[in-house]
Amino acid sequence: MTIPATDATTIQLIDVENAHVARNYAPLPVVVARAEGAWVTDVEGKRYLDLLSAYSAVNFGHRHPALVAAATEQLGRVTLTSRAFHNDQLGPFADALAALCGKDLVLPMNTGAEAVETGIKVARAWAYRVKGVAADTAEIVVAGGNFHGRTTTIVGFSDDPQAREGFGPFAPGFVTVPFGDAAAIDAAITPATAAVLIEPIQGEAGVIVPPDGYLRAVREICDRHGVLMIADEIQSGLGRVGTTFACDREGVVPDVYLLGKALGGGIVPLSAVVADEAVLGVLRPGEHGSTFGGNPLACAVGRQVVDMLASGEFQTRAAALGEHLATRLDSLIGHGVTAVRTAGLWAGVDIDPAVGTGREVAERLLGRGVLVKDTHGQTVRIAPPLVVRATELDWAVEQLRVVLAG
């Protein structure tokens, strides 16, 4: 049951939304009107510490001044040209992002799901045109518990009933193996395999960190079989885990990076597929595209994002604050928490069912000025903006301690 909102403006705005917006989400009863840094303010003027960061799309904090400046400057020039013409922002953005990833080429899209769909198309085209797989037989190995977005192809290879039931029939060509089990990937690969597609750390599943050495093993298996390693870093990438990419934690470079969320600085949707010429070069004009993909506004913001990541400052901050947060969250184990998983400034906190569900804990935290989101029933996911202060994290964990104590 959702706790009722009490303020008249809040109630009215939630009612209007419920009356006219499809109910594909069940938001917590807070109506955000403004935000800055790690804090949001609702229509009643109440402030909340944001520990979700729009699922890591707001890694740099709300309205980071350098990102707002880049967007504002570009708004005064040109915002959309389509790819029918060149624009003066796409090239410099792609150049900077390719350098950050150590790759040759960037294919810009908008949402994460589009980047994943694009990665699937590129892998299949590579399999047919480079590897020599027979037409329309290519397979992609994916991991159980995955979350790669909401399109019909993508939910077709999800094993979450809520994501897929009622939406079939689904596209063939995907083989699922358990996450974290490299030997299972090895066994699943056939001569028709184009790629292995994994999240280096599974976010939606509850911040599931695979065993040490898993990513290195996947890299070795892909190399041995001549199969592309595709890393979906849409949620795990761009500073969140204390390194630029979650793959960096094991010193692994995938063949294809899928990026999104924080790439748009929390201002515009911006995603990208990043790979070398030998892979992304398989696409020919007219085979793939997007009206908004590569638009100058998004590229101007994206270039600023890449600039901010290039200094390493946000990664270092995420690593240090992540350790700080992990120590404090670990102290809750046995006090309403059954397990904590962390990677940089990202945590999955499993709530003891005796205390309540993840949703109930999120609702009680809302009442104490902290925004979090539950996932898969008993887990609360914590992903603060990387600009958050250690003292703010301490305060938030204290609120969680109080909530758990009932």
Ligand X SMILES: Cc1ncc(COP(=O)(O)O)c(C=O)c1O
H or E stretch at 229:
strand 228-232
Of 53 and 399, nearer to ligand X (C-beta) is 53
Contact assessment for residue 317 and residue 389, using Cβ atoms and an 8 Å cutoff: no
The stretch among 30-38, 108-116, 331-339, 361-369 that binds ligand X (CB under 6 A) is 108-116
Among candidates 69, 146, 73, which has minimal Cα distance to 112?
146
Query: Is 399 in contact with 364 (CB distance < 8 Å)?
Result: no
Distance, in Å, from the CA atom of 40 to the CA atom of 53, rounded to the nearest integer, reads 10
386, 321 contact by CB (below 8 A): yes
Select from 42, 139, 199, 374 the one that contacts ligand X (CB under 6 A). Answer: 199
Q: How far apart (Å, rounded) are the C-alpha atoms in residues 10 and 375?
A: 25
Residue 364 or 381 with smaller CB distance to ligand X: 381
45-84 burial, b at 16+ Cβ within 10 Å, e below that, comes to: eeebbbbbbbbbbbbbbbbbeebbebbeebeeeebeeebe
- Residues numbered 203-232 forming contacts with ligand X, rule: CB under 6 A: 203-204, 232
The C-alpha atoms of residue 94 and residue 98 are separated, in whole angstroms, by: 6
Residues annotated as part of the active site: 147, 232, 261
Q: Does 235 bind ligand X (CB under 6 A)?
A: yes
- Which of 148/341 has CB closer to ligand X? 148
With binding defined as CB under 6 A, does residue 234 bind ligand X? yes
Q: For residues 149 and 173, which CB has a smaller minimum distance to ligand X in the complex?
A: 149
Interface with ligand X (CB under 6 A), residue from 10, 87, 89, 111? 111
Residue numbers 124-153 binding ligand X by CB under 6 A:
147-149
Cβ nearer to ligand X, comparing 42 with 117: 117
Which alpha helices (DSSP H) does 61-181 contain, by range? 65-75, 90-101, 112-126, 152-156, 161-164
Give least dist CB 148 to ligand X, A.
Answer: 5
Residues of span 260-299 touching ligand X by CB under 6 A: 260
Q: Is 274 buried (19+), middle (13-18) or exposed (0-12) by CB count in 10 A?
A: buried
- Region binding ligand X by CB under 6 A among candidate stretches 196-204, 288-296, 357-365, 398-406: 196-204
| Chain CA centroid to CA 257, Å | 12
**Interface with ligand X, residue 113, by CB under 6 A:** yes
Q: Minimum distance between the CB of residue 204 and ligand X, rounded to whole angstroms?
A: 5
By CB under 6 A, how many residues form the interface with ligand X? Answer: 15
| Angstrom distance (rounded) from CA 29 to CA 371 | 11
| Smallest separation (angstroms) from ligand X to the CB of 344 | 15
Q: Does 42 bind ligand X (CB under 6 A)?
A: no
55 binds ligand X (CB under 6 A): yes
Applying CB under 6 A, which residues contact ligand X? 55, 111-113, 116, 147-149, 199, 203-204, 232, 234-235, 260
